[in-house]
Structure 1
Amino acid sequence: MRLLFVPNEEYPMFTSIDPATGAPGQSYAELTGAEIEIKLQRAHDTFREWRLTDLATRTALLERIAEQFDANTQRLAETATREMGKTLKSAIAEVQKCAQAFRHYAQEGAAMLEPRSFPGATATWHPMGPVLAVMPWNFPYWQVVRFMAPTILAGNVGLLKHASSVQGCGAALEEMVIAAGGPAGLFQNLAIKSDKVDALIADDRIVAVTLTGSEGAGMKVAEAAGRALKKVVLELGGSDPFIVMPSADLDAAAKAAVTARVQNTGQSCICAKRMIVHADVYDAFFEKFSAGMQAVVAGDPMDAASDMGPLSSEEQRATVLGQLKLFEQAGAKLLFGGEALPGKGAYMSAGILVDVPTDHEVANEELFGPIAMLFKAADIDEAIGIANAVPFGLGSSVWTQDADERARFERDIEAGMIAVNKMLASAPEAPFGGVKRSGHGRELGPYGLHEFMNLKTVLG
């Protein structure tokens, strides 16, 4: 069924709010129904041409897009910092990582798309069509590029429904493609609200959808995709465990744990959120970790001396503060931090929760802020049990020098990713995604490329 979008209401403006100051920033007009229809048809028409381009044309464009990210690093980073509050240094690193991803797919794409031969048959990869991406604000470039780079390489085209608060970042992403010489319909930012997503998914010009976001958003998108019988990839919440065993390098583990918890002001799906520490080293780890968390400087995200900026909005800070009240009502104890800092901006101090009851529903909360939960485990079995007790299964980090323990963790931790003796991080070459209520499907690496391609079998 093809749907024709027509204007039938007054369309509001998106206005970004600087979470460091509360001051309004640039405004962007929401697309009218007629404008959505134009972009949809443009995507459809562009795909008919782009699918026929050769691999050399696609990879050359990816290289030029990477060059645009390089040339505009400072401007792109400042836009992200103003719109969602991450530190400028982390925003710069995010932009550089995006350039790395485009180059990765440009350089490795040919190998990823090699046909596979079988007795009497060959399997070949082919593009599917326009893919809709529904993306969040926390990594406003990287989350999108994880879908965007392989989409272009595959011969597909992309449509982005970005978070309302980061429309400047969404517009900039489209600008990078155009500046690199890409056709106008290859990647388009749709400045729309969430209430338009169901109709987009139902439109027969959209062949698939990918979402990074909350469980609730994931369920709505999956339901809409199911009704339309369309492929969907979901990267949802996480409450990642960070397990420390007696053989671990405690200095390295504690330092990594602080970074893993407060990066992006704790607003990352793969932030380590639950520190699970063996009883034999609990006190020693706690001393190092708590000192590190208390030393975290929350301040102006444009200042290189700041370890973290504000939360993304006043609303997000209020959500985290409300969650902390629920934890305390359930019997958990906030040792320090977790306070709204005075003055302008959505700032909050880093903190640690202990005595969190693992059998209470509050333990299933994903804290999207700079607050760590600390648990004590008697042995590896209890550590794995605590790690797996939540409904999420995105990532994990384990710290041990024991080969047998490592093997147990790799086998028994219920997660899509596991980092050993290091902080979990995403990388262009490594498949990214989770299990359980953290979603399904994969981004990045060859598997992320293949998610939205038709594996066509040729017999004879």
Structure 2
Amino acid sequence: MYSVTNPATGELVEEIPNATAEQVEDAIGRVRRAYPGWRDVPVTDRAKIVLRAGELFAERSAELTAVMTLEMGKRVSEGRGEIGVVADIFDYYGTHGPDLLADEPLTIKGGHAVIAKEPIGALLGVMPWNFPCYQVARFVAPNLVLGNTILLKHASICPRSAAAIEDILREAGVPEDVYVNTFASSKQVPGILADPRIQGVSLTGSEQAGVSVAAEAGRNLKRCVLELGGSDPLIVLDTADLDETVRATATARMRNCGQSCNAPKRMIVLDDIYEEYVEKLTARVADHYVPGDPADPATTLPPLASISAADEVAGQVRKAVAQGATLRTGGERVHPGAYLEATVLTDVTPDMDAYYEEIFGPVVLVFRARTEDDAVAIANDSPFGLGASVFGTDPGRMRRVAGRIESGMVYLNRAGGSQADLPFGGIKRSGMGRELGAAGIEEFMNKKSIRL
């Protein structure tokens, strides 16, 4: 079942049956049959529809935020911020899409050629719950402009977000069968991928889900983009304002109740400021992040997306402490609902599970580094490689350190985040492919060589 459960109270609000096999079959047929007609719509017309969708998302910000708050506990201010980014993404591809899709001329031996940038067909999107609108936007906006059609399977706890997105796209002018929402189950995804009418898949989710989808895509020779987990390092080399550095890094970690793939999860602090940083960070986390109703604008710490998620993160904290980590503050479940106290852990070592795993909740791990080389070594000692951050006062030094970090993205004197014109994606166990920016429209593109 798809279900809406208020994570602040644990109350079941609504249940929606999974799609039947016949409904899934019908949805696949619809997006495949719609493809030739959508492909042949002039790109400028497709771009106008995408621009209109961005306007509608902005107009319905309050409505969409309320849905996300109910479904997965998102704070009001963060919901509005998410919809702002969604509108920017649709605006970016609606504005720049035609130029990004223009033929690319080539001068070759013996003559000339062009690279024609064309769609490839019907695509499957498998989306997560932590950013119910943003994650969909960064897959859907570029591919609608490109001319692909989309079958969208959202997370099972976000059926109202899924339905609202489909309604907005329909009102913007996306033809009925060009974008189809399906309440398919996870068990139906392999069958959809195996269907020859589907040409590719984009998944944002867990490492385990990515492995499964990548294997199925490989067996069926389908293109795939995977944005998976992350355990992003944030290196603090030095600071001219420690209080501001603590505020900025804590804010970045606690965004979305710690449920952001590219949030900084491992703070790596040089030895000479480590003790003071830990002291100030612990005080801020303990005093500032207080559990409350996510619908209340004053709330600083909302619930996690589900009770099972809160229990899982609390279990990871307990295991880390049992294995020798130091609990500086927090770590306890707060009932009712899916609340967990904001938490700081130190003295985490490579023989502990927490050193290498992703903790997807309001938990900060702080590591001491003796030198710059030591900090880089700790940062790279991870199976993940999504994002990273470097804080400091010397731009040249920060840029040098950024060049040594193994990740798809690095931010200097800021932590994580996303914007429409900046490519987003990782390496290692954090996935493959890129979304957003000029690179984001190329993943499901046929770059056709035409010899003139």
The normalised TM-score by structure 1 is: 0.95
Deviates more, 1:283-292 or 1:15-24: 283-292
Three-state SS of the structure 2 residue aligned to 1:164 is: coil
Structure 2: distance between partners of 1:450 and 1:183: 23
Shift of 1:14: 2.1
Contact 1:129 1:156 in 2 (8 A): yes
Residue of 422, 440, 451 corresponding to 1:430: 422
Structure 1: distance between partners of 2:81 and 2:429: 29
Three-state SS of the structure 1 residue aligned to 2:157 is: helix
Shift of 1:361: 4.2
| 2:12 counterpart of 1:19 | no
Residue of 39, 45, 48 corresponding to 2:27: 39
| 2:127 counterpart of 1:135 | yes
Residue of 155, 159, 170 corresponding to 1:178: 170
Shift of 1:329: 2.4
Which residue type is aligned with residue 303 of structure 2?
A: P
What residue in structure 1 maps to residue 76 of structure 2? 88
What residue in structure 1 maps to residue 297 of structure 2? 304
Shift of 1:181: 1.9
| 2:234 counterpart of 1:234 | no
Three-state SS of the structure 1 residue aligned to 2:390 is: strand
Structure 2: distance between partners of 1:18 and 1:284: 39
Contact 1:248 1:399 in 2 (8 A): no
Shift of 1:116: 1.6
What residue in structure 2 maps to residue 388 of structure 1? 380
Residue of 88, 109, 114 corresponding to 2:102: 114
Structure 2: distance between partners of 1:109 and 1:20: 40
What residue in structure 2 maps to residue 335 of structure 1? 328
Paired residues, number: 447
What residue in structure 1 maps to residue 45 of structure 2? 57
Contact 2:3 2:158 in 1 (8 A): no
Deviates more, 1:310-319 or 1:246-255: 246-255
Q: 1:249 to 1:359 in 2, by over 3 A?
A: farther
Q: Which runs of 5 or more residues in structure 2 are unaligned? A: none
Contact 2:304 2:310 in 1 (8 A): yes
Structure 2: distance between partners of 1:397 and 1:293: 20
| 2:310 counterpart of 1:317 | yes
Shift of 1:88: 1.7
Three-state SS of the structure 2 residue aligned to 1:395 is: coil
What per-residue deviation string (whole Å, max 9, x for no partner) do you get for residues 21-54 of structure 1? Answer: 1111122232111111221111011111000011
Give me the identity figure in percent. Answer: 41
Three-state SS of the structure 2 residue aligned to 1:118 is: strand
Aligned pairs for 1:252-271 within 5 A:
252-271=244-263
Contact 2:320 2:353 in 1 (8 A): no
Contact 1:393 1:434 in 2 (8 A): yes
Which residue type is aligned with residue 413 of structure 1?
A: I
Q: Which runs of 5 or more residues in structure 1 are unaligned? A: 1-12
Which residue type is aligned with residue 61 of structure 1?
A: I
Aligned pairs for 1:183-202 within 5 A:
183-202=175-194
Structure 1: distance between partners of 2:179 and 2:244: 42
| 2:277 counterpart of 1:285 | yes
Three-state SS of the structure 2 residue aligned to 1:305 is: coil
Residue of 180, 183, 208 corresponding to 1:216: 208
Contact 1:207 1:230 in 2 (8 A): yes
What residue in structure 2 maps to residue 6 of structure 1? none
Shift of 1:91: 1.1
Contact 1:395 1:416 in 2 (8 A): yes
Structure 2: distance between partners of 1:90 and 1:84: 12
Which residue type is aligned with residue 63 of structure 1?
A: L
What per-residue deviation string (whole Å, max 9, x for no partner) do you get for residues 141-164 of structure 1? Answer: 101111010110110011111110
The normalised TM-score by structure 2 is: 0.97
Structure 2: distance between partners of 1:39 and 1:205: 11
What residue in structure 1 maps to residue 398 of structure 2? 406
What per-residue deviation string (whole Å, max 9, x for no partner) do you get for residues 165-204 of structure 1? Answer: 1111111111111111210011111101100000000001
Three-state SS of the structure 2 residue aligned to 1:147 is: helix
Structure 2: distance between partners of 1:27 and 1:185: 25
Structure 1: distance between partners of 2:391 and 2:208: 32
What per-residue deviation string (whole Å, max 9, x for no partner) do you get for residues 374-394 of structure 1? Answer: 111111000000000010000
What residue in structure 2 maps to residue 154 of structure 1? 146
Structure 1: distance between partners of 2:301 and 2:294: 7
Structure 2: distance between partners of 1:88 and 1:164: 22
Shift of 1:71: 2.3
Structure 2: distance between partners of 1:83 and 1:361: 30
Structure 1: distance between partners of 2:401 and 2:123: 36
Shift of 1:403: 3.5
Contact 2:50 2:145 in 1 (8 A): yes
Which residue type is aligned with residue 306 of structure 1?
A: T
